[in-house]
Structure 1
Amino acid sequence: MGRDASPTFVSLAAGTKDFLRWASHGQGRLAALQAAMNEPLEARQMRLFRQKEVLELSGLKPHHWRTWVASHRAGEVGEVRLTIEEVHQFMEAFKVRPSKPAGAKTLRLVIAQLKGGAGKTMTTLHLAHNLACRGYRVLLIDGDPQGTLTTLCGWRSEAVRPEQTMAAVFERIDSPELIEEMPVQPQKTHIDGLDFIPASLEMIGSDFLVASAFMSSPASARRFYTFIDEDLKRIEGAYDLVLIDTSPSFSFTALAMMWAADGLLVPMPPNLPDYRATLDFSQMMGENVAKLEKAANITKTWDPVIFAHVRSDLTQTTALVRSLSADTFGTHRVEESVPSSSAFVNAASRFRSVYEVTGAEVDARSSRRAREAYDALAQRVLQSVGSVWARQVAEGQKRPVVDSEPAAEPTESASLVGVA
């Protein structure tokens, strides 16, 4: 046997110019893929809804459908399908479109996890789409500089301007009074009732701004954790719920989002590494927020706090981790779970959720099962949110009269978090 020829080595050295070249090339390819797979943001449309889906969403009966169609779509030939705007109009016509009750406050729910790849962004996206389709007014915020949620919502994160993101809040750290004058403005989406605040890589600079402020003007820097809370107070009145996707870290901005939150949802794939990451998340939440509590002289409580299994399969390890998480988190670990499914992969490859794709684009059966899983999780979240709202209404009704003047009604924009 002859001697092998000398191997040829390829250099894998790279410098900063190479990274910039890769980013530019990849962004161009991604933009072309988005254009081929999806409509531009301004032309993107939600799929149409059949009668069965509309009645399931509204809880109404076939005679309601016939009455509404006769008055709004008279003479139309063939199967009638409604846009999401028409679905909500149908609900409003019979006064069944849901919303927070009078006297209750907009509830902010942060979806958070310390480990990347835990399904945090997909959970946020699908909950937002589910709740908006049900008729709730939802504000969706991408708080992760990587902007994955932004991409799934039809935006090119590299084209997002910093003032459109939560980075604008921290740019005013030396002039916090500007937050009241210029809050971040949500953008309309293609789903009626769902508005959006996108993210971009410029948000990474927010942490450097906070760190720099500690050295130059500690008075304003010490209040960094209140900035998102204060900004949301001024824009959340038009919404029932605010859903926030965070970065998998405990940065200054992530802590500010945690502090602004009323409730937390922690997605957890049922495997041992993700269970361990969830324990680490719990420890860091306890340690880091305790420091903010001391600074603000406030005891922080989130309600609801939910741990939910996502990317769940029926395996021996899954059963073990579900048992461990139930033992650890008690009733906070809900039984409703989201399975692994090709439907999520196929929908994401089109930069959409499973609520947006049609049977012609993906396997209808797997897509339906995927939607049903998130339907159940969203319903569980709404049960807990409903309990919070009911308590707020009851507490408002007990509010005493002061100086013979009627007690003021709670404002929708009021924060659930007091700041000392």
Structure 2
Amino acid sequence: MAEPPLSTPAPHRALRAIRRGAHRVDAATPASRDRAVDALRAAAILGVVLGHWLVTALVAADGGLHTASPLQHMPRLAPVSWLLQTLAVFFLVGGYAATRSLNTARAKGESYGGWLRARLTRLLRPVAALLGLWTVADTVLLLTGTPLATLHTLLKLALSPLWFLLVLAALTAVTPLVARLNPLWPLAVVLHVDLLRFGLHLGPSWLGWINLAAGWLVPYTLGAAWARGELHTRRSAWALLLGGTAATAVLVGCAGYPASMVGVPGSAVSNLNPPTLAAVTFGLAQCGLALLLRDRLRRAMSRPWAWAAVVLVNLSAMTVFLWHQTALMATTATGLLAGRLPGLHTPPDSPAWVAYRLAWLPVFALALTVCRAAFRHHEQGPRRPRHRPSRVVHRHLPPKKTPHHA
């Protein structure tokens, strides 16, 4: 008598379902889409998230929480910031996507106002949820007697991602004006501002904040140049990579700029707050590397599972970016119920802390997954009809080689 067939184990069924879903996403993607753009955007977002989780510590002391960084106590960890400070790549992709989107809108006869409204809506819609939750949370914490210093620490961390969105929104709004701007112009502005600040020690205290716009305008205009097909050769990518690396090495080694590409509490100069010339030249090197990796990324994204993972990140990119600090703080606050936990509430002053913090990363990721599930609809908007094409997916066409560029 034949035995009945054994049922397929649940893990195998789940794996097959994931594989089928990945193949459906791959099949639904237009062949004309430049998948390298999405891969770079996902890598930039995840780099920022991991960087913040690794260099931001909430230390429990004196009945409250205050921020600290392992870079304060272990400066030799500065190379970690070189790997995970990926904002320049995000602005590069932002300039590329905005320029191509604007050109497409113009070709369809759409107005600038309609185009800008559509782009800013998805960019800024998730902010309302973050502000609403933290308004309620801060009110509750204040009424329950939480020290003001702790409230300031938490609110500063929670709202810190907003500066990035505001700068990106401003650059998006002026895309028609800067789409053909040579990146050397904003680079020259950064150079002169730093010369006045650090070389001649002249100018008002707010002078450095000019670099907040000019500094990130450099990779943004590089992205616009990429969209125009002006950075299609490997020679231009190598020039950015080698030139940016050499300039950064000289600025750090000879001009006294900090080696860390992120802010370090207590440091006299921060490369990011506001951006310095070293941060901008480092961003040039990052953009050159990103451009060099385009072909390899396109080949890698031909694998359905890899492409599905990138799509998943991009669909909730702003939600992930806005809520990753809240996920860290929620884990830290919950952990206080069990006492001072190493790598979570202890001073980041030893390699042991780094090992413990690495072990906490999956917990942070789980908390962020919960935040994403709760708030992603603020970014993606209402569910679309089943047979209606997705408005989230925009076509990024690789620049065609015209006879002028051949």
- For the criterion TM > 0.5, the same-fold answer is no
- Which structure: greater strand fraction? 1
Which structure ranks higher in relative contact order (CA pairs < 8 Å, sequence separation ≥ 6)?
A: 2
TM-score, structure 2 normalization: 0.28
Q: Whose helix fraction is larger, Structure 1's or Structure 2's?
A: 2
